[in-house]
Structures are given as structure tokens and as C-alpha cells.
Amino acid sequence: MKNISALTFLLFTLLCIACKDDKLAPVAKNAVKPTVVTKALPHDTDDPSIWIHPTDSSKSIIIGTDKDTDGALYAFDLNGKILKKSIPLKRPNNVDIAYGLLIDGKKIDIAVTTERESDKIRIFSLPNLEPIDNGGIPVFEGETLRDPMGVALYTRPSDKKIFAVVGRKSGPSGSYLWQYELSASGKTATAKVVRKFGAYSGKKEIEAIAIDNELGTILYCDEQFGIRKYKADPALKDNKELALFGKTGFKADNEGIAIYKKTDSTGYILVSNQQANTFMVYPREGANGNPNEYPLLAEIPTSTIECDGADATSANLGGKFKNGLLVAMSNGMTFHYYTWDLMQQRIDKARK
């Protein structure tokens, strides 16, 4: 009962914060309630990513950013407890995870975050959250507009090479995103530019990026405009936009993107309708035999406030998360974990 009471109190506090600030929408009465709320961080949570433990999925962890000049990455367990804090970072913005980067003859799981105030990406080993990048890797070198924000990692199925797609606060349409191939020199992770691409409306910014390894696609939010889709493999040398969807229905910003995979090719794309405190749900596989057609399946109100970033998994994490979870950043310096069963119930109800 103590956990339930604490959770109720926290939700009430967050709701009060939202109601007092007329710029923030209140949490809806019918909002999905989080199964777990993490311990609050010191500054400003922004983006989470899920690491699946290789032998015991119940020991999987959530890596989240605390976005500040004196920020850091934090590791949480599935009960929302802080396990570890990284070295200090200068405004870490977004984070993503990949498995099996070959370093010094060993395969290492990694978390990559953008360090906005240093114009770098930072690479950490998992699960110990130790830096392996010799102080960081500069990105958007030679550009006037840098300020890295979004990041997502692509693992190419054919050879398991890992690539980082990095976004920024602002940039030119056509080369707003840069893609880096990750490798190693001895015990140090390195990166080289292999591609520049990505249309941009100019309306706000591009921060939220997600990559579907199995389908080989990149999705990113061109805020206040829509969700754009491109091929992920730089070897294809194909920078043609495949789809543009989600242009309507958002109160203001289309923000964090999460992909829930039911099979290798089916599932859902969830996009935060940031100022409405809801998630818009689209079919991962497309519709009507067209993989680039994305009708809105559902809009799910959640208890997150002004969600910037999210991640999802269908892996059986045990306990309350046997069908996976959605993790979403919320104002109040926390991350919310939603058992997938609750999200699926809302999707099924909307589709009836």
C-alpha cells in the first residue's frame, strides 16, 4: 500500500503542476495510469531507452537523460529505482541503445547520447554505464548550426554494423540529419560520417528519431509538421522520403517516438502528442498493403505531462511487464513505465 500511496501522491502533484500552468494541459480523467514512476532526477528528464538483459530480462534497465549543464545519464531498474549515474555531461539530450559493438575484440552493448553543449555524441558501455569514447566524438563538424539533440541507433541485419543517426536544434533541409558509422580504435569507440539527409519544414526542430532495424527504416518528428520516413541503410544511397504522416491531430508538437514490435514486421508506432498529454498510435506495418500508409489507429491519454521522449519493448520483462512496456518522460523530472497490457486495451477499444 505504501507504493500505491506514494504513486497517487506523485500523480496528484504532477496534475497540480499542470493545472497551475495554463500552458500545460491537465492529465485527462480517463488517462492510463503508470505502473511505475521513477525516482525524480535533479534537473530535467528528456528521453529514455530500454536495455534488455541478455540472460534475465527482469534485470533489464532503463537509461534516461537528465538534461542540464550539470546533467548525466541515469540507469533505473524496473521498479524505478536509480541504479547508477554516469559521469557529468553538458546537457545530454536524447539517448539510444544498441547491442554488440565490437571493441578490442569484444562485443559491448552501448548507450549513445547527444551532449548538446559540447557538440558531441557520447558513448557508454552497458550495463555499467562507463564512457568508452575518450571524452566524446564531435558531430556536425564544419557546420554553423550544430547543437545535437536527437539520436537513434541502427544495427544493420546483414553485418551487425551499428550506425548513429543524429539530429540537431536547427539545420538545412536535405541534410538536417547526419549518419555516423560506429566502430573502435583499440578500446575507444569512434565514429565517421557516412550520410547526410533529411527534409525539414523549418517550423520548429527535429529531435525525436526512431529506427526500425527489422524493417530498415528511420522515422523522425519534424515538429509541428509531421512524421517523416526514410531508409536506414546508408549503403543503399537512397535519400528519398518514403512517407510523411501524422500531419493532423496534434495539438502542437509531435515529439517522442516509440516502436512496439509484435512480430518482426508488425506492431505499432507511438508518437507523443506533447501538449495534449496523449500518444498517437499508427500501424508499424502500414495499411491496405501499403507499408508507407499510416492511418491513425488510436489516441491514448496518458498521465505523462508534456512528454518529450519515449521507448517501448514487447520483450517479456517478467512481473507486471510480461508483454513489455512503454516508458515515457514526464515533466516533474520522472519517467513513467506503462505495462503494455494497458496500452493494448486502449488500442483494441479504439479499433472496435
pLDDT tens per residue across span 75-97: 999 999 999 999 999 999 999 99
Confidence of residue 314 (pLDDT cuts 50, 70, 90): very high
- Give Cβ neighbours of residue 75 (< 8 Å, ≥ 6 apart): 61, 62, 63, 82, 83, 84, 85, 127, 129
Contact predicate 17/59, CB 8 Å: no
Express each pLDDT in 152-211 by its tens digit.
Answer: 999 999 999 999 999 999 999 999 999 999 999 999 999 999 999 999 999 999 999 999
CA 222 – CA 296 distance, rounded (Å): 17
**Which residues have C-beta within 8 Å of that of residue 96, sequence separation ≥ 6?**
49, 111, 112, 151, 152, 153, 164, 211
Q: Which residues contact 12 (CB under 8 A, 6 or more apart)?
A: none
Decide yes or no: CATH 2.120.10.30 for domain 2-351: yes
The grid coordinates listed for 320 are 507486471
pLDDT at 5 (0 to 100): 42
State residue 2's pLDDT score.
Answer: 36
- Tens digits of residue pLDDT in 29-88: 999 999 999 999 999 999 999 999 999 999 999 999 999 999 999 999 999 999 999 999
What does the block give as the cell for 9? 501522491
Unique residue bearing C-alpha cell 541515469: 74
Whose grid coordinates read 495499411? 287
Please tell me the distance from the alpha carbon of residue 258 to that of residue 131, in angstroms, as a whole number.
26
* Distance, CA of 327 to CA of 312 (rounded, Å): 6
Strand, helix or coil for residue 82: strand
CB atoms within 10 A of CB 129: 20
Q: How confident is the model at residue 9 (pLDDT cuts 50, 70, 90)?
A: very low
In three-state secondary structure terms, 6 is helix
Percentage above 90 pLDDT, the chain: 92
Bridge-partner residues for 108, per DSSP? 101
What is the reported pTM?
0.92
Please report where in the chains the cell 499542470 appears, as a residue. Answer: 18
Q: What is the rounded distance in angstroms from the CA atom of residue 219 to the CA atom of residue 17?
A: 32
3-state secondary structure (DSSP) of residue 16: helix
Domain map of the chain by residue range? 2-351
Residue 23 reports pLDDT greater than 90: no
Phi, psi of 8 (to 5 degrees): -60, -45
pLDDT beyond 70 at 20: no
3 has pLDDT over 50: no
Over the chain, what is the mean pLDDT? 94
